[in-house]
Amino acid sequence: MSAVLTITRLSKTYPGGARALRGVDLTVPNGLFGLLGPNGAGKSTLMRILATLQEPDSGSVRLGDIDVLHDKDAVRQTLGYLPQEFGVYPKSRAEELLDHFAILKGLAGKGERRDTVEALLRRTNLWDVRRQRLGGFSGGMKQRFGVAVALLGNPKLLIVDEPTAGLDPAERLRFLNLLSELGENSVVILSTHIVEDVSELCSRMAIIDAGEILLEAEPLRAVADLAGHIWRKTIDKAELPGLERTHRVISTKLLAGRTVAHVYHPEAPGAGFEPAVPDLEDVYFSTMAGHVGRRQIQAL
Ligand code: ADP
């Protein structure tokens, strides 16, 4: 896996004082890359800087041979960006609007444009609804249309910021599968606060919080590395504060009226705990709690 996008010591503080990015280093190869973090972590700031829509205070970004912060025109020619909310034009029909965007993108030849528009509508599974108005599209269809627009001009880098909010589970899965397919030929960065979005589909991931990268890993390997470290105990809610004082509780869930606590512990933590099969949520919460981190970053 060769590094296609290299981010070095990227920092950004907003005029109000919010330190959105604090020396972010990231190496992003081809494939679907999940950038996972809670609200306010700095994801959108990073996405906007990569998309040349915002300036950092310091640091550098390279996309292959391109210096992203200084050669913005070159980046824009090879970039697709799907913002959090893709504004749609409710009265426009999908095919006509995509054709219109293709003209704006510089696809002047009518035949070439028709072929491109058809290929993109088929790829995003919108061919059958191409004559429908966008106002009648579901959330997932709108997002897929956004991807079709972002893919005009064959971008080498596709940036997708929090795309699955508001999608139902079937639409979400379909959308993530589409991104994963696109990742076969380019860098696709998916920013999200939803752990399940960064499932097996992402070949690599990073966890960001308070402007810092806490973990950079392959999702499946990060989960495997937690084997034997996550333990489960079912308790009454009232017992939780006591358990939190004595153990590293990383997450809790309600199950049939009782509380199931997940605890990070390298060996068996004692009576009443069962070993839990770790999943990506355990990776996320262990990382956010500081038990797993940078030192475990896996080499490319
Ligand atoms: P995320 O996308 O992970 O939710 P953001 O990049 O939007 O995170 O925000 C990171 C931090 O920067 C937050 O503290 C947020 O309040 C702040 N921030 C974001 N945009 C602005 C802005 N335009 N002006 C001032 N502060 C901002």
Residue 93: predicted pLDDT: 95
Q: What is the mean pLDDT of residues 136-145?
A: 89
At 106, the pLDDT band (50, 70, 90 cuts) reads confident
208 lines ligand 1 (CB under 6 A): no
The rounded Å distance from CA 13 to ligand 1 centre is 9
Of 164, 190, 217, which residue sits at a domain end? Answer: 217
Q: Do 232 and 283 fall into the same domain? A: yes
pLDDT range class, residue 105, cuts 50, 70, 90: confident
Contact 178, 141 (CB under 8 A): no
User: pLDDT band at 184, cuts 50/70/90?
Assistant: confident
- CATH assignment at residue 167: 3.40.50.300
> Do 88 and 159 sit in the same domain of this protein?
yes
pLDDT score at 270: 85
| Lowest-confidence region among 163-172, 190-199, 237-246 | 163-172
Same domain, 170 and 84: yes
**Residue 90 identity (one-letter amino acid):** P
Query: Using 50, 70 and 90 to split pLDDT, how confident is the model at 87?
Result: low
- The reply to whether 258 and 241 lie within a common domain is yes
Answer whether residue 261 is part of any domain.
yes
Residue nearest to atom 24 of ligand 1 (CA): 14
* CA 62/CA 75 separation, integer angstroms: 10
User: Ligand 1: distance of its center to the CA of 45 in Å?
Assistant: 6
Residue nearest to atom 21 of ligand 1 (CA): 14
- Whether ligand 1 lies within 6 angstroms of the CB of 24 is answered as no
Average pLDDT taken over every residue of the chain: 90
Say whether both 157 and 267 belong to one domain. no
Instruction: Establish if 257 belongs to a structural domain.
Output: yes
Q: Residue 211 pLDDT more than 80?
A: yes
Pocket of ligand 1, candidates 22, 45, 209: which has the most ligand atoms within 8 Å of its Cβ, to mutate? 45
Specify the higher pLDDT residue, 291 or 230: 230
- Are residues 12 and 84 part of one domain? yes
Q: Are residues 161 and 277 in the same domain?
A: no
Residue 82 lies in a domain: yes
Residue ranges making up the domain that contains 237: 223-288
pLDDT at 298: 45
Residues 60 and 175 in one domain: yes
Domains in the chain, number: 2
Residue whose Cα lies nearest atom 20 of ligand 1: it is 45
Does the CB atom of residue 84 touch ligand 1 within 6 A? no
d(CA 130, ligand 1 centre) in Å: 36
Please state the pTM of the whole predicted model: 0.89
The residue among 188, 217, 246 that closes a domain is: 217
Examine residue 79 and state whether it is found in any structural domain, yes or no: yes
pLDDT tens for each residue of 171-183: 888 888 888 888 8
Asked whether residue 198 falls in the same domain as residue 227, the answer is no
Domain contains 138: no
Question: Is any ligand 1 atom within 6 A of the Cβ of residue 259?
Answer: no
Ligand 1 neighbourhood includes 43 CB (under 6 angstroms) = yes
Are residues 258 and 197 located together in one domain of the fold? no
Q: Is 299 a residue whose pLDDT tops 50? A: no
Q: 295 CB contacts (<8 Å, ≥6 apart)?
A: none
Q: Does a structural domain hold residue 182?
A: yes
Most distant pair of Cα atoms in the chain: their distance: 72
Q: Quick check: 18 pLDDT over 70?
A: yes
- Tell whether 70 is covered by a domain: yes
291 lines ligand 1 (CB under 6 A): no
Q: Is the CB of 14 under 6 A from ligand 1?
A: yes
- Ligand 1 centroid–CA 291 distance in Å is 26
- pLDDT band at residue 295 using 50, 70 and 90 as cut-offs: very low
Judgement on whether residues 201 and 236 belong to the same structural domain of the protein: no
Among the three residues 189, 217, 245, which one is the final residue of a domain in this structure?
Answer: 217
Are residues 183 and 154 part of one domain? yes
* Residue 111 covered by a domain: no
